[in-house]
Amino acid sequence: MRTPLLTFLAAVVLVLPASGVLPAFWATLLNMIGISAIVALGLVVLTGVGGMTSFGQAAFVGVAAYCSALLTTRYGFSPWLALPVVLVVTSIAATLIGLVTVRLSGHYLPLGTICWGMAVYYLFGNLDLLGGFNGISGIPPVSLFGHPLLDSRQFWPLVLVMLGVSLYLTRNLLDSRAGRAIRALRSGTTAAEAFGIAPARAKLAVFIYAGFLAGLAGWLFAHLQRSVTPTAFSLNAGIEFLLMAVIGGSGRLWGAVLGAAIVVLLKNALQDYLPLLFGSIGSLEVIFFGVVLVLTLQKAREGLWPVLAEHIPQRRSPVDEIATALAMPVRPKGEGPFLLEAIGINKRFGGLVAVNDVSFSLAKGEILTLLGPNGAGKSTTFNLLTGVLSLSSGEVRIAGHSVAGASPSQIAGLGVARTFQHVKLVPEMSVLENVALGTHLRGDSGFLRCLLRLDRPQEAQLLAEAARAIRRVGLADRIHSPADSLSLGETRIVEIARAICLAPRVLLLDEPAAGLRKAEKNRLAELLRELRAEGLGILLVEHDMDFVMSLTDRIVVLDFGTRIAAGLPDEIRKNPRVQEAYLGSVA
Amino acid sequence: MTVLLSVEDAAVSYGAVEAVRGVALQVASGSVATIIGANGAGKTSLLSALGGLLPMRGRVIYDGHDITRLGTADRVAAGLALVTESRDLFGTMTVEDNLRLGAYTRTRAEAAQGIEEVFGRFPKLKERRTQLAGTLSGGERQMLATGRALMSRPSVLMLDEPSLGLAPLIVRDIFHIITELRNDGIGVLLVEQNARAALQTADHAYVMELGRFVMQGAAAEMMHDQRLVETYLGISGAGN
Amino acid sequence: MDSTIALFLVQDGLINGAIYALLAVCFVLLFAVTRIIFIPQGDFVAFAGLTLAALEMGVAPGSALLLVCLGVACALFDLAGLRNWPPAGWLLRRLGAYLALPLVLWLGVRDLAPMDLPVWADICLTLVIVVPMGPFTYRLAFEPMRNASILALLITSVGVHLVMMGLGLLFFGAEGYRSTPIWGGTILLGPMMIQGQSALLMVCTLVILGLLWCFFTRTLAGKALQAAAVSARGAELVGISVETAGRRAFVLAGLIAAIAGILIAPITTLYYDSGFLIGLKGFVAAIVAGFASFPGAVFSAIVLGIIEAFAAFWASAFKEVIVFGLVLPILLWRSLTNPHDEEH
């Protein structure tokens, strides 16, 4: 029943305005909604999914509009010929702004875009080439099959098709390997980096994509209005686009359309009625918009779309678990007997020595436990081994290769997977999507391939791999649950499934049994034995003695960042130094 | 000895995950109560909620008043102080400024008297009074955090893992001071992974597992509880 | 260019730079204590200037009525947030601050404005009208967003700017005003002739920066604010609530912005929306200083003022393009020298 209804609706919106039944005024509003929705769509991905934002999208729209205006009026380009040039120019502008800010902490990007928006606005207004504050007029219309689209009613199908294409591309993106990587960044970069995602690159890609969409909208705008002036691309216009994304629901595709519709219609209504109330003293609708923006962020930070979407049933495509298995990753061949070696590693924070000259090694098919009281330097050691922290001195070798200065992504690429003491999952993503992050390095579908949906065979393999890992750890019945609905114990198990998806040689587990019930612990122990039998090296930090003693092959004991003992479980148990350090008798 | 802090049916959740549920406890003046349990059992969540840092359900009665809805700052003003696991010192400010700010809710005269008392208890802090808090060693940080909490003249002091990352000698000092505070009439609620040290110092103990209290009783008796010894007093229990 | 012009431009730059410095300090202060990047900062500058100009003309300023509106909204927010009946003292204090103070001001100013008050009285009235707008705005827009991300707070702050700009238009009208100089004389300093008002502005800026420094290093209240900036949790643990610290920071920011407005009102013609551009320049200086260092913010603000003055001389049409465009290379430099600014 859904599809016929949608088809009917689509026919109505497509045909009605174009057929001439609808007044031209309404067609103009629809065009504005459609064009704004394309810009807002970029912001939805940027803000709601990528956790960044931009106040300068209007400036990108302006760059595109001016570029097309200039090319068509001055250099005789046809609008269609100008389109690719326009898109390339806007993307380049976005790349430059993005490159400058994506490596800085979150809020510098929006701050940079405020300044960029101001600068571009004044540039438009003061360049003689662009006609100053009068802008450029006489822009030729777009022709479709030889027919110029002169009237707003004729233009509407073009806007609708472009909006449709933008929605399609964006949906493809979010539902893919590249999209998962972007979504993972919103809740911090540490976990994402540990599975090979390069945060700066993913953020830059999203920013360029948002700029690309703004460029498309700018081209439509220029040829719809057939004239451009700087005012349309001021900072205020940029804020209005952001308002659309926030009201509609940042992070939701259809939120962009909803938000654009609300803002455009509201603005129109307010401009009609406010002067009746206050006299025509200027644009007072900003008061209303400002209040709406603040209230949305205070009361419904997810925007309005989720409120509506509650009533629309979610479709969930089943995971095809019989997809052909992923190829095992190709990694540098191991040299020497050990998978992982720490050779005299040191870490100082200012004057504090957190890890002091610690050495140990982990062989294939072995479980090694790091033991020691809280604060003994175990988690710091983990972070040194995985490249999250840099060594003050010493050396870490993975499969015999020194990894001095390597990033967490590079170390993940060598086959080292980890879990975190404080679980780091993406709360709003499902178990399946979270675990699929672990497969990131085993796929290679890039941004473009994902946009154009050419990634499907590989995506099926990645999801199948994730589903298999979830079944293996015994969480098959929670596969579609959002991560924030799980118990602490279950989240730890999900992290292990995610780590397994990397097809690791070395598994680093930081307190995997904390918060687990007895039965869950037994199952986890069973799983770790299986993995050991498959030849993995497992490095464990754990406090639960029962759990450790029955499982581990060897133990290294740390205290105050220093290795105070190493040996078989029974030796450690009887070591007086360990007893003193670990039990810290008061007497 | 009167009951100063009483908690009924406390629950703390992160999203859909319940970290603490159905917990009840009491702390009396001049006594030490301790909560022991494995990492991830919910001890820190409980203590943070009692300090007003996390939202919780249930009831917290302090000195006869329901303070469940009060924020952290108001709880401190009322006399319920918390020293967190992360210490939360003002790293770019001097030791003395940290202490003076500790008496933010008290009068100038009380602050002056308090600072002398703290310097009396922790002579090391007096030596370091002009040093920046961020440059202190782990033990000194713990002393400063405790001293700062004492500056607000609390009648109940909650300590989260005071022995964390400290050398045995310093741990001994810290527990010695906890005993002193108890003798001065302060009620102490102690969360500690060093279960043996905690039980030796405490009067009453609660054992926490997966967000719930599974056992409670006199600390002295718990020291001899075979199951507890095996689970929480770690490797020696199984070995010896 | 000869040295007279250069000296003149430097002087011009210093005047602008001084105002930007005051605003940049506000940006840094508010960000440190509340994590809010308070874009509407500049709107308060314009409001103060326009209030002073209205009082001088013997007209009751629209801002007094605006304050009443904000106060009523705050009172409604407080009442709506109540779950049970509050203590009478608390209620009286809140309603007094949110309702009584603005009402008394509004009624009073309608009678006082037509009387030919001395300048200092106008200035005092301007301050008591504009300064409460800071904490009132904090109460309305930001207090309900305690655990929000920096990003959400930033977007909110932009929303507040929209509201402020619209309200400015509604309450002050679209016309521009310039108030009479507080000190009309001139000073001869070698070849330079300095307007009295400009000299006053620079002296006042220096005094305010000095007082701020004393406040933060010498007083318990100042240290408490600093503590809240260093560690919000630590501040809560010693009894300084995040709300209190936030409110105080906003009082301080409102005060500094109001003084800035009073100082520049005689130098430039102010419109309801000119504050925004002035504010953004302070904001650029704060960005350059990484929202972290007070001296850094002051220094960048002054350099920015001078760059702006010279840009206005050489390429007056592109003055704003140069000032705002400058941010991008500076951010690039920051990202190359300080790439591990990650993880919130």
Give the domain range for residue A511: 339-586
Residues 131-160 of B with CB under 8 A from A: 134-135, 137-138
State how far the Cα of A363 lies from the Cα of A508, in Å rounded to an integer: 13
Same domain, A577 and A468: yes
Instruction: List the Cα angle C88/C93/C98 in 5-degree steps.
Output: 125
In the structure, what pLDDT confidence band is assigned to residue A221 with cuts at 50, 70 and 90?
Answer: very high
Alpha carbon of C43: minimum distance to chain A alpha carbons (Å) = 14
| Mean pLDDT value across residues A339-362 | 89
Instruction: Say if B93 is an interface residue toward chain C (CB within 8 Å).
Output: yes
Alpha carbon of B113: minimum distance to chain A alpha carbons (Å) = 31
Same domain, A53 and A109: yes
Please list, in sequence order, all residues whose beta carbon lies within 8 angstroms of the beta carbon of residue A293, skipping any fewer than 6 positions away: A243, A246, A247, C155, C156, C158, C159, C162
Same domain, A237 and A368: no
> For the segment A439-469, what is each residue's pLDDT rounded down to a tens digit?
999 998 889 999 999 999 899 999 999 999 9
Cα B50–chain centre separation: 11
Q: Do B17 and A484 touch (CB under 8 A)?
A: yes
**What pLDDT score does B167 carry?**
74
Q: Do B138 and A376 touch (CB under 8 A)?
A: no
Alpha carbon of A521: minimum distance to chain B alpha carbons (Å) = 13
Nearest chain B residue to A427, by CA: B15
**What pLDDT score does B232 carry?**
64
Nearest chain B residue to A481, by CA: B16
**What pLDDT score does C182 carry?**
80
Best C147, C226, C238 member to test B by mutation, with max B CBs in 10 Å, is C238
Which of A268-282, A478-492, C62-76 reaches the highest mean pLDDT? C62-76
**pLDDT for residue A587 is more than 60:** no
Same domain, A201 and A296: yes
Q: Partners of A348 in the beta sheet?
A: A353
Total Cβ atoms within 10 A of residue A157: 16
**pLDDT for residue A242 is more than 90:** yes
State how far the Cα of C161 lies from the Cα of A293, in Å rounded to an integer: 11
Look at chain C and report how many structural domains it folds into: 1
> For the segment A98-107, what is each residue's pLDDT rounded down to a tens digit?
888 777 766 7
Same domain, A381 and A502: yes
- For chain B, which residues make up each domain, given as ranges? 1-79+155-240, 82-153
Nearest chain A residue to B13, by CA: A487
Same domain, A506 and A580: yes
State how far the Cα of A490 lies from the Cα of A477, in Å rounded to an integer: 12
| Mean pLDDT value across residues A113-122 | 92
**What pLDDT score does C343 carry?**
38
Q: What are phi and psi of B159, to 5 degrees?
A: -120, 125
Burial category of A95 from C-beta neighbours within 10 Å (exposed 0-12, middle 13-18, buried 19 and up): middle
Alpha carbon of C323: minimum distance to chain B alpha carbons (Å) = 33
| Mean pLDDT value across residues A568-578 | 84
What are the DSSP calls for B110-140, one per residue? HHHHHHHHHHHH-HHHHHTTTSBGGGS-HHH
Residue C108 lies in a domain: yes
- When CB atoms are compared, the residue of C83, C224, C231 closest to B88 is C231
| Mean pLDDT value across residues A337-365 | 89
Q: Do A284 and C169 touch (CB under 8 A)?
A: yes
In the structure, what pLDDT confidence band is assigned to residue C341 with cuts at 50, 70 and 90?
Answer: very low
State how far the Cα of A390 lies from the Cα of A388, in Å rounded to an integer: 7
Range from A282-286, A377-381, C125-129, C273-277 carrying the lowest mean pLDDT: A282-286
Q: Do A373 and B19 touch (CB under 8 A)?
A: no
**What pLDDT score does A276 carry?**
80
Alpha carbon of A577: minimum distance to chain B alpha carbons (Å) = 11
Range from A64-78, A314-328, A494-508, C175-189 carrying the lowest mean pLDDT: A314-328
Total residues found in chain B within this entry: 240
Give the domain range for residue C45: 3-331
Choosing among 3.30.2130.30, 3.40.50.300, 3.40.50.360, 1.10.472.10, the CATH entry for B1-79+155-240 is 3.40.50.300
| Mean pLDDT value across residues A178-186 | 89
- When CB atoms are compared, the residue of A514, A515, A573 closest to B235 is A573
Same domain, A353 and A281: no
**What pLDDT score does B209 carry?**
87
| pLDDT, tens digit only, all 240 positions of chain B | 789 999 999 999 887 778 899 999 999 999 999 998 877 788 999 999 999 999 999 999 999 999 998 999 999 999 999 999 889 999 999 999 999 999 999 999 999 999 999 999 999 999 999 999 988 888 889 999 999 999 999 999 999 988 887 777 788 888 999 999 999 999 999 998 778 888 999 999 999 988 999 999 999 888 887 777 666 655 433 333
Same domain, A345 and A235: no
Same domain, A214 and A350: no
Same domain, A575 and A466: yes
Residue C343 lies in a domain: no
Residue C340 lies in a domain: no
Look at chain A and report how many structural domains it folds into: 2
Residue C337 lies in a domain: no
Alpha carbon of B168: minimum distance to chain A alpha carbons (Å) = 6
**What pLDDT score does A20 carry?**
64
Residue C182 lies in a domain: yes
Residues 285-314 of C with CB under 8 A from A: 287
Same domain, A368 and A296: no
Q: Do C236 and B89 touch (CB under 8 A)?
A: no
**What pLDDT score does A307 carry?**
76
Total Cβ atoms within 10 A of residue B158: 26
Q: What are phi and psi of A318, to 5 degrees?
A: -65, 150
> For the segment C291-330, what is each residue's pLDDT rounded down to a tens digit?
888 899 999 999 999 999 999 998 888 889 998 988 888 8
Total Cβ atoms within 10 A of residue B8: 14
Same domain, A240 and A348: no
Q: Do B74 and C226 touch (CB under 8 A)?
A: no
Instruction: Say if C141 is an interface residue toward chain A (CB within 8 Å).
Output: yes
At A511, which CATH number? Answer: 3.40.50.300
Residue A545 lies in a domain: yes
Residue C342 lies in a domain: no
